[in-house]
A and B are shown apart, each in its own frame.
Chain A
Amino acid sequence: MTELIERPAPEIGKARRRREDARLVTGRTRWTDNIQLPGMLHVAFLRSPMAHARILRVDVSAARELPGVVAAFTGADLGPEQGSLPCAWPVSEDVVIPAHPPVAVEEVRYVGEAVACVVATDRYRAADALEAIEVDYEPLDPVLDMEAALAPGSPGVRAGQSNKAFTWVFSQGEVDAAFAGAPVLIERTYVQQRLIPSAMEPRAVVCDRLGEDYTLHSATQIPHILRVMLALTTGIPEHRLRVIAPDVGGGFGSKLQVTAEEVVCLLLAKRLNRPVKWTESRSEGNLTVHHGRDQLQRISLAAESDGRIRGLKVDLLADMGAYLMLVTPGVPLLGAFMFPGIYKMAAYDFRCTGVFTTKMPTDAYRGAGRPEATFAIERVMDELAHELGIDPLEVRRRNWIEREEFPYTSVAGLVYDSGDYGAATDRATELLGYAALRAEQAERRARRDPVQLGIGISTYTEMCGLAPSRVLGSLAYGAGGWEHASVRMLPTGKVEVVTGSSPHGQGHETAWSQIVADTLGVPFEDVTVLHGDTAISPRGLDTYGSRSLTVGGIALLQACGRVREKAKSVAAHLLEADPGDVDFENGLFRVRGTDAVRSIQEIALAVFTAHNLPDGFEPRLDADATFDPENFSFPHGTHLCAVEVDTETGMSRIRSYVAVDDVGNVVNPLIVEGQVHGGIAQGIGQALFEEARYDEEGNLLTSTLADYLIPSAADLPDFVTERTQTPATSNPLGVKGVGEAGTIASTPAVVNAIVDALRPYGVHDVRMPCTPERVWRALEESR
């Protein structure tokens, strides 16, 4: 007799609190720096104080003599064994990928580049020993400005070589015709300032050697990719190398990297045959975590006199920094396809030049290329509206893709599967009280109120859910874009999920449990999710590009489906029925039209005992699935921001912020909400606060969080967030990515609002971050 379990509420769509948070928030968990191994040594790096110099001499002999110091190595000591840090995205035929030794040997090319390392019995002694290392440098000219770097006669980041890293072009439609004789031409230049991804957990590495086997723990987003890359670059065979990403405290793309410190820790464990640990300090991280953005955008838009867009041209300079790291040159390409945004146009021309400078290399940072593109097009749409004297919402309406036009092939060649830009915009304007704010704005302008009101608009879409493997191949990316999941039922009816998607704060354990609970009809609590260890989860491509749910979640869904079908065949066998007559609902297999029932937990036990299984059925209730998407994911939405600008001081204060996002169907609304909030905060950070600044000698001026300002909750308004729900047609859950959307949308909304407030004063742009001083100076110049 089967006991009927009560019908569980559907888990998918439930705003569950994240099951992993208690351990993450209290820190009583497996942070890499929490790992203590017997006999473990501590590594510290001596870093270059020079932006560009020839290394004449590095002497570590005095450091080696200090108490507690076990070893010290220069780049030359590590020799050819340290290899070259990889770039997996050779974007073009002409791309130049310079040698990149983890510890510099002949030359240093940015402040912070490692020149030696020390291994000691504790990190204090290791830090002390750094002060005993002597280095003689011959200064070389720093290369800091992209335009100057490309000019003839510029000093080279590498002597005798051009500072051009690559050129990448794309063109579609009759661009010249679109611009010739266009009634309206808008040409602007925007600066995407350099940013420092500021994950809460600093980078950390622990490496252990056991015989010829190595285990590398790293605070990384990409344990699987890291394993392959380390095997290829260090010569330690892949099957001798296990990579573990324990709990990881945020990344935002900054831990999508193969770092010098990871490679060196591996080599040190090998040479010393002892476990080693390295944990960066925040100021070390500001110098040497790869930076983000840093583009100079020249954008030209041709339009009809009614505002309809004829064509778009973008000429981009992208600062690579001193080397090409894992996906450095690919970041602007991810933006290349997004400059047209949600708008219809017949012609589009894109050109990007990657430029070497003597600064920390750039690479992926939340949004990676799409925030930059979205900023430029959304700023220019406001400029177009101003030029024509029409409402910036209206000019967007006249150009955007209508709901009934989906699927729509954009001028950049992407197929947007679904969307409803009008619905999101209508709801956002309603929530903001757009008309009333416009009236207040007019009134403040009329009385020359020293505090002016501006309204900023950002109607965005983005491409995420990276990615169809074939598309990545066509763009010369060095890996695929599939994801893997395994699901196994244990004898007692519990479920273990193994995911190749490696969380670093996103809430996979919760969302994945919800998907399993619904598809297998088991309680949420009966699911556990294993991840981030190449020995436990051997197949995967990790977490970046808002890909987890739209790729990894679908793999999981498919694996669950296979488990369910297997269980059904066993249930039919036990119930002596044809599988076609067995229905599955809420964890129960029932022979249609009878009372004969078996729970999936009973089937799990029956499979374990294997006393009575169908002929040929192997006694295991598990399945694997690998999903390779056919298309990207295209979330969209409308963000509106009202800003009060104090024209006396230049201070901007966000008064209200409304985000209506469409991320398709939703597995956990609370997680989506969290992603949107965090994303908006980070985008506001770029608009108002954050900038990695180098001085004229190439010293980073913002090496601490006292100099590099990131907003805290106290600096942000309450966000009003809602969603429209247009299901994706590209995956069976109808879900779209949400990890980067807030960051992509919010920056132009804020800057558009500030500029909108200042238009009566003749100010039409403020460079980011829009600090009070920059706003004040813009006002002074126009007065």
Chain B
Amino acid sequence: MIPATFDYVRPSTLGEAAAALAEAGEDAKVLAGGQSLLPLLRLRLAYPSVLVDLGRVAELRGIEDRGDRLHIGAMTTHDEVVNSPLVNEHCPLLARATATVADPAIRHRGTFGGSLSHADPAGDLPSVALALDAEFRLASAAGERTVPAADFFADYLTTALEPDEILTGVSVPKLGPDWGCHYEKFHRTAQAWAIVGVAAAVRHSGGAVVEARIALTNMGATPVRAHAVESALAGVPLNGSGAGVREAALRADEGTNPPSDADAGADYRRHLAKVLTRRAVIAATSG
């Protein structure tokens, strides 16, 4: 850990944090769990002038039941999400996807909000948030606003957050018992990023799909909603040959722009997206 020099602020309230960020200007960075930012500092790929550490802002941590939605504080750790009874009951997709993030040590340090703010398209949680139509609460010294997931992820490692804004929490809808869900992650080692991931939540009734929410990890510069698959799945029967699901899943790469990198070529990612989407939908609707 040999970063360049930076100033360090550790506020204890959101108000102090927002004020510190406003004062620090454009070169400031918010430090949450540090699992993405610290490697960037260590490799000197980022040179922030000030780090505003949210570690002691208690109000940003925790999971609340808010009627038909859950509110998850941005500084809630992955481990707390994985083990939250509320999340497991009302939004198991999030619990299951979070359980695939890295390893236990990282899940104890890394935070839900930090991962979403980092907006790595290879990260698991952005696609889950997109599939769930999560709502993002943003705060600055000037006030608060809410941004839907579809607008939050702007580009590669880029979000709707202004330099002076802090992600305070995310609200996700509770999914009823007629919803099944699954996160299908394809990665080479347990600690490696997803080459492709598929977040699937499927409402089904009477042996047929009623409604599907599918989003893809690492199939573009941002998480991608698989609208074509979602439309094609509506009404598809779940028993029998599975041909309907298979056919719908073949549309998983529509509208995507997957990268070619050391892990995988774009054509391979397109192929994987189809196979994994089929598997995710079947897993989401089985048992």
User: A residues engaging B (CB < 8 A)?
Assistant: 123-124, 127-128, 131, 281, 283, 648-649, 651, 688-689, 693, 701-702, 704, 706-707, 709-712, 714-715, 771-773, 776-777
Contacts and interface: CB of A to CB of B under 8 A. Distances in A.
Given A281-B42, A709-B189, A709-B192, A714 B2 contact: no
Given A711-B189, A712-B190, A773-B263, 6 more contacts: A649-B186, A649-B276, A688-B188, A712-B189, A715-B189, A772-B188
A123 B189 contact: no
A772 B276 CA distance: 14
Nearest to A695: B262
A101 B67 CA distance: 70
Nearest to A714: B190
Nearest to A646: B275
Nearest to B265: A773
23 contacts: A124-B5, A127-B4, A127-B44, A131-B4, A281-B42, A649-B186, A649-B276, A651-B186, A688-B188, A689-B189, A704-B43, A706-B39, A706-B192, A709-B189, A709-B192, A711-B189, A712-B190, A715-B189, A715-B190, A771-B188, A773-B265, A773-B268, A777-B268
Contacts of A709: 188-189, 192
Nearest to A701: B262
A715 B187 CA distance: 11
B190 A281 contact: no
B271 interface: yes
A711 B3 CA distance: 28
A776 B189 contact: no
Given A712-B103, A712-B190, A773 B275 contact: no
Given A773-B265, A773-B268, A776-B271, A689 B188 contact: yes
A648 B195 CA distance: 15
A649 B272 contact: yes
B239 interface: no
B6 to A, nearest CB: 11
B267 to A, nearest CB: 9
B13 interface: no
Interface in B5-57: 5, 39, 42-44
A714 B102 CA distance: 11
Nearest to B186: A649
B191 interface: yes
A777 B267 CA distance: 10
Interface string B244-287: 00000000000000000011110010011001100000000000
Contacts of B265: 773
A653 to B, nearest CB: 12
A441 B190 CA distance: 27
Contacts, number: 58
Contact of A776 (B4, B39, B42, B268): B268
Contact of A693 (B44, B188, B262): B262
A628 B195 CA distance: 52
Contacts of A773: 263-265, 268
Given A281-B42, A776-B268, A123 B188 contact: no
Nearest to A685: B189
Contacts of A710: 189
Given A772-B188, A776-B268, A714 B103 contact: yes
A761 B287 CA distance: 33
Contact of A128 (B5, B190, B272): B5
B4 A128 contact: yes
Nearest to A715: B189
Contact of A707 (B44, B191, B262, B272): B262
Interface in B151-191: 186, 188-191
Nearest to B4: A128
Contacts of B262: 693, 701-702, 707
Contacts of B264: 773
Nearest to B188: A709
Nearest to A713: B190
Contacts of B268: 773, 776-777
A640 to B, nearest CB: 23
A707 B264 CA distance: 12
Contacts of B186: 649, 651, 772
Most chain A CB neighbours (cut-off 10 Å) among B193, B268, B271, B276: B268
Contacts of A651: 186
A777 B272 CA distance: 12
B1 to A, nearest CB: 8
Contact of A127 (B2, B193, B195, B263): B2
Contacts of A123: 2
Nearest to B269: A773
Given A712-B190, A714-B190, A283 B275 contact: no
Interface in B182-237: 186, 188-193, 195
Contacts of A772: 186, 188, 195
A706 B4 CA distance: 22
Nearest to A125: B5
A649 B103 contact: no
A649 B264 CA distance: 12
A648 B184 CA distance: 14
Contacts of A649: 186, 272, 275-276
A688 B191 CA distance: 15
A776 to B, nearest CB: 6
A748 B272 CA distance: 28
A50 B243 CA distance: 53
Contacts of B44: 127
A131 B188 CA distance: 35
Nearest to B1: A281
B2 A712 contact: no
A773 B195 CA distance: 10
A646 to B, nearest CB: 9
B74 to A, nearest CB: 24
Nearest to A702: B262
B272 to A, nearest CB: 6
A709 to B, nearest CB: 5
A693 B189 CA distance: 18
Interface string B98-124: 000001000000000000000000000
A693 B265 CA distance: 15
A283 to B, nearest CB: 6
Most chain A CB neighbours (cut-off 10 Å) among B2, B5, B44, B103: B2
Contacts of A283: 43
Question: Which 6 residue pairs across A and B have the least CB separation, nearest first?
Answer: A714-B190, A127-B2, A715-B189, A648-B275, A773-B268, A709-B189
Contacts of B192: 706, 709
A712 B191 contact: yes
A124 B44 CA distance: 11
A261 to B, nearest CB: 16
A618 to B, nearest CB: 55
Contacts of B263: 773
Nearest to A707: B262
A519 to B, nearest CB: 44
A718 B276 CA distance: 27
Contacts of B2: 123-124, 127, 281
A131 to B, nearest CB: 8
A127 B188 CA distance: 33
A507 to B, nearest CB: 26
Nearest to B262: A701
A648 B275 CA distance: 7
Contacts of A693: 262
